[in-house]
Amino acid sequence: MCYKKDLEAEYGQQNVVAIINRLKLEGQMLQRLKHTNILGLVQPIIEGPKEIAMVTEPIIGSLANVLKDLKGLASPPDVLKNYELSDTEVLLYDAFFFKF
């Protein structure tokens, strides 16, 4: 969820409509994309008077959980306990978080 006032503060009021329209378009495209490794959208964009939001399928963990930081999870699912990152995932993780 994102508040429109935050978008206005960051990008200016004149750009908010364009940003929301772009998010709607991207949400529609993402909703058509079906893959087991991509978070699915239930509802692409819900626009209220003060906020915009996307509704996704349930998430059972986070990147921190996959990296074996399981604190805060009462009973971690086996898929998280036994998950191993592929070489590609490790390279992408390194490139994203350690690019500087």
Range of the domain at 30: 2-56
pLDDT in tens, 59-68: 766 666 666 6
**33 lies in the same domain as 67:** no
Q: Tell me, what's the pLDDT at 60?
A: 66
Q: Contact 70/81 with Cβ under 8 angstroms?
A: yes
Highest mean pLDDT among 2-16, 33-47, 82-96: 2-16
Burial label for 65, CB within 10 Å (0-12, 13-18, 19+), is: buried
Is a pLDDT exceeding 70 seen at residue 89? no
Instruction: Give the distance, in angstroms, between the CA of residue 77 and the centroid of all CA atoms in the same chain.
Output: 20
Q: Tell me, what's the pLDDT at 56?
A: 83
Q: Tell me, what's the pLDDT at 32?
A: 86
Q: Tell me, what's the pLDDT at 35?
A: 81
**37 lies in the same domain as 22:** yes
**69 lies in the same domain as 44:** no
Number of domains composing the chain: 2
**14 lies in the same domain as 46:** yes
